[in-house]
Amino acid sequence: MDVGRPRAGALGNAVSNPTRLEIPDGSPFGTDNLPYGVFSTPGSAPRIGVRVGESVVDLAATLGDDVFASPSLNAFMAQGKPRWDEVRERVGALVAGEVPAAAVHAAAAVTLHLPFEVADYVDFYASEHHAANVGRILRPDAEPLLPNWKHLPVGYHGRSSTVVVSGTEITRPCGQKARPDGPVFGPTERLDLEVELGFVVGTGSRMGTRLATADFAEHVFGVVLVNDWSARDIQAWEYQPLGPHLGKSFATSISPWVVPLAALERARVPGPVQDPAVLPYLRDDRDRGLDIDFALRWNGQLVSYPAYRDMYWSPAQMLAHLTAAGAACSTGDLYASGTVSGPTPGERGALIELTWGGRDPVDVAGRPSTFLEDGDEVVISATAPGTGGGRIGLGEVAGRIAAARQ
């Protein structure tokens, strides 16, 4: 199969019944967004589509290119930035005109799948507000930030096999928890969520090479929303001295739509001043921040609205640090920002912060709540300025908690 080239006659029959896409005013999925995902319809195999308004457009059927008949974005992403730009231009022209009716599906009627094969997963800790809050909660008599925090983007290596698409049920994990007379094994009692932004690597790098901050846009294809579920009691007992393990590795949820970096050009804003100055390999002189507003809903109730613009470490700096020792990155790698939090209580992106370690319950539909209970549902959504002057949507990432398996 010659991927990347149209199939002869692929559009011939479909064009005979064209339709125009209707995009409601103010839609977060207008033509300045055009996120990619993998979808299926009853009786059909998963393939790549683009979200436009309340519709999903089948790209294999409209562009006549077998790379979009794949159940994953990986092969397309591996073709590189010139190809991404070319396809985005073609898709923009396509959806502005007439589209084969058979290639258009109602967004509410399709099944969405994990949009790419996750090759590797790293999670960072890039919010100063979050890191400082957690430091004050866990180490109240010490400096909130550890000595290395303002010198490098702190992160940990997660498990790619437990990255799941939005809507996947999250089973309460079990592990060791500390007790005064010794550890016990059982379900976590402090199940948490984390509002995060994830970055999807489109083209990789060779082992032994380093990527610079200026290489970011050539290698990162787009962004997804991330909920990095956390078992705080399991994490507290096991994380010293080597960091998170079972308290983090049981599930990470991502949104089904990958928003291309090109759709976020108007979202670029200056990042916070970095003091002390970072080492040369981490210098990033461009606008480092992203003006993205999140909303966190717990059982349907809005409990927090974190903003990404205040994140201390930029995604370009995270990528540069990730490869600084010579580690290769690959198509399909996912790295996430860590919890997005702001300076006020209403902008905290994790329950450990919102409830101050469980000390201050949040009222959720009349129930005083600290950490997640079985049956609870968490939904994270986000928007950003679009190139057309309105706001574009990054979709949502949702998950419901199921009881631990015995």
**Residues annotated catalytic, as ranges:** 130
The answer to whether 397 touches 377, Cβ cutoff 8 Å, is no
What is the C-alpha to C-alpha distance for residues 362 and 365, in angstroms, rounded to an integer? 10
Residue 194 half-sphere exposure toward CB, CA atoms < 13 A: 28
SS (H, E, C) 230-279: EEHHHHHHHCCCCCCCCCCCCCEEECCCEEEHHHHHHHEECCCCCCCCCC
Closest CA to 394 of 405, 385, 406: 385
SS3 91: helix
Please provide the distance, in angstroms rounded to a whole number, between the alpha carbons at the two ends of the chain.
47
Provide the total of helices (H) and of strands (E) in the chain, helices listed first. Answer: 8, 28
Structure tokens given for 223? 């962004």
Q: Which long-range contacts (CB under 8 A, 24 or more apart) does 162-165 make?
A: 162/249, 162/250, 162/251, 162/252, 163/114, 163/118, 163/121, 163/252, 163/253, 163/254, 163/334, 164/114, 164/251, 164/252, 164/253, 164/254, 165/112, 165/113, 165/114, 165/115, 165/253, 165/254, 165/255, 165/256
Chain-centre distance of CA 303, in angstroms?
20
CA angle 390-391-393, nearest 5°? 150
CB atoms near residue 142 (< 10 Å)? 10
Distances (CA, A) of 389 to 31, 33, 94, 266, 392: 12, 12, 21, 8, 9
